[in-house]
Amino acid sequence: MKDIDVDDFRVKPDEKVDLKQWPTLIDPVYKSKEHYGQQLADHVARLSELQRKLYASDRFSLLLIFQAMDAAGKDGVIRHVMSGVNPQGCEVTSFKHPGGLEIQHDFLWRISRSLPERGRIGIFNRSHYEDVLIVRVHPELLATENFDPAEADEDFWAERYRSIRGFERHLSANNTHVLKFFLHLSKEEQCKRFLARIDEPDKNWKFSQADMAERGFWNDYRRAYEKALGETSTKDAPWFVVPADDKPNARLIVSRIILDRLERMKLAYPVVSSARKAELKKIRAQLE
């Protein structure tokens, strides 16, 4: 069993990413199922404590972005890792392909509307990165935004990466901390999970022929992810490539990375002033 070093999973700024060199499976960071459960419970309890301080201090917000191939376990990671966080201080937003009013605006518009307020944690299950992932793999989708797909050359995508870096730099400068997670799943493990979905009534409803069609674009998606990770992982808004073939491992790694960032914020409850202490003393006297 190895300890979790968050830097093992961080994509360095300007790093050229080759996902074939990043493992989808590593040695477990837990000794047994019971040990995994205890570690996760400890992480969740600490996250809950820090989230209360984040909310009380009302200074920072935290944005967590999750991207992955189908069946990588995003929903499970979010559900298990954030299970102890007060729902009032945390909101999950799932982004589908844009439509309606969304396509009448730039690709970052709908994202801006869902950003977390100060003191809160926002979780994006998919995000603005869909516009340099699925849209890059299927450039014909650009026609819905009144772009000519034939003009989507390298300069076009480079401009989108620049927009994303600028957007996330703006968030950081305004006290929104950004952490981005790519759950790195192998094609073999995805196949196993797809087969399992077919046999499980609580999962097969969300599996379709369209998922199989997208699996056929595996290498195209890998290249799109490599480019996006390398172009947009920065000091202030880093990407983390999390091995996802082992679900418990992935959950522990993600929770440790989030804890690391919250702990480095040095969060604390607001200091009570002398005037406030006097007011509280007066209230106590009234109650007694």
Give the range of the structural domain holding residue 173, as residue numbers without chain letter. Answer: 6-287
Two tokens, residue 239: 């990407």
Q: How many domains, in total, are found in the chain?
A: 1
CA gap 36, 192 in Å, rounded? 22
Question: Which among 159, 175, 73, 181 has a CA at the least distance from the CA of 115?
Answer: 175
Domain-embedded: residue 1 = no
CA gap 158, 194 in Å, rounded? 34
Going residue by residue through the chain, which has 288 residues, state the pLDDT in tens, using 9 for 90 and above. 678 999 999 999 999 999 999 999 999 999 999 999 999 999 999 999 999 999 999 999 999 999 999 999 999 999 999 988 888 889 999 998 888 888 899 999 999 999 999 999 999 999 999 999 999 999 999 999 999 999 999 999 999 999 999 999 999 999 999 999 999 999 999 999 999 888 877 666 666 777 888 999 999 999 999 999 999 999 999 999 999 999 999 999 999 999 999 999 999 998 877 787 788 888 898 888
pTM of the model: 0.94
The DSSP secondary-structure symbol of 62 reads E
Measured CA distances, 89 to 54, 56, 254 (Å): 9, 10, 19
First to last CA, the chain: 55
CATH for 214: 3.40.50.300
Neighbours of 217 (CB within 10 A): 14
Q: Is the dihedral of CA 25, 31, 37, 42 positive or negative?
A: negative
